[in-house]
Amino acid sequence: MKKKYHIEGMTCEGCRSGVENILNAIPEVTSATVNLENKEASVVSKKQLNIEVFKKAVPDKYTITEKADKPIGNHQISKEKSELQQLYPLFLIFGYITIASFLINYNPWSMDDFMLDFMGLFYVVFSFFKLLDLKGFPESFRMYDPLAKVLPTYGLVYPFIEVGLGLLFLMRFKINIALGVTILVLGITTVGVIKVLVDKKSIRCACLGTALKLPMTKATFIENAIMLVMAIWMFIKIYS
């Protein structure tokens, strides 16, 4: 009997192989393969197994659920609500950054300073979450960032690049360089995000590191697009 399961919590190849080994060690399981990118386990067993068998076998940091082939009706609505709930931390942080940037510059109002402070706070806050799990972040990041895929070291230093860019914006130091680097790095990442969305792949967004389990959705694209538009606008304004 073959059945597929959805697994949350895997962040790297080590997690994938570990879960796969655990599933294969269950006596009733004939074979099990785990796909990190799709967060999916395909299990062949001698008989139908209760989901509780798998839940007890895998560590608590992983969440395993039965995978429905074609979710319909209320189940589909629940899934959509679940995705929105997962994105709540992203919306909350984005809102805090926007309000803070507005309050810093509302009197006297300066749109240019608002955008610089927004980008600075964005980088500092988002880098903080990436640094919470510096070992796991590169593995998640390389699943969609084109440069991180071919240059693993880039994923390791990326959070520090964000810290540096954030400080440059907040200190108003070498703004032209910070804008140029922002356009470059976010441009590359956005290309990867678009490809994931077009291919309709189900992977985790690493924008807030691995501490918060965020799905890759259009919200990720919008977040990057806002930063890119601000950076391009300011870059053009400086050199026009």
pLDDT in tens, 165-176: 999 999 999 999
**Confidence at 83, pLDDT banded by 50, 70, 90:** low
Residue 8 lies in domain: 2-67
pLDDT tens digit string along 35-73? 888 888 888 887 888 888 888 888 888 888 887 655 444
108 and 50 share a domain? no
| pLDDT higher than 50, residue 76 | no
| pLDDT higher than 60, residue 81 | no
Residues 6+ apart with CB under 8 A from 96: 125
Q: Specify which of 74-83, 187-196, 199-208 reaches the highest per-range mean pLDDT.
A: 187-196
**Confidence at 15, pLDDT banded by 50, 70, 90:** confident
Residue 83 to residue 193: CA distance in whole angstroms: 17
Compute the mean pLDDT over every residue in the chain, rounded to the nearest whole number: 85
pTM of this prediction exceeds 0.85: no
Please state the rounded mean pLDDT for residues 130-147. Answer: 86
Residue 112 to residue 114: CA distance in whole angstroms: 5
Residue 74 lies in a domain: no
Helices (H) and strands (E) in the chain, counts: 10, 6
Q: Quote the tokens at residue 171.
A: 């200190």
Residue 47 to residue 6: CA distance in whole angstroms: 19
CB 102 within 8 A of CB 230: no
Domain boundary among 67, 92, 122: 67
| pLDDT higher than 70, residue 74 | no
Residue 231 to residue 220: CA distance in whole angstroms: 17
114 and 203 share a domain? yes
Number of domains in the chain: 2
The upper half-sphere exposure of residue 150, i.e. CA atoms within 13 Å in the direction of its Cβ, equals 4
Q: For the beta carbon of residue 156, count every other beta carbon within 10 angstroms.
A: 15
125 and 213 share a domain? yes
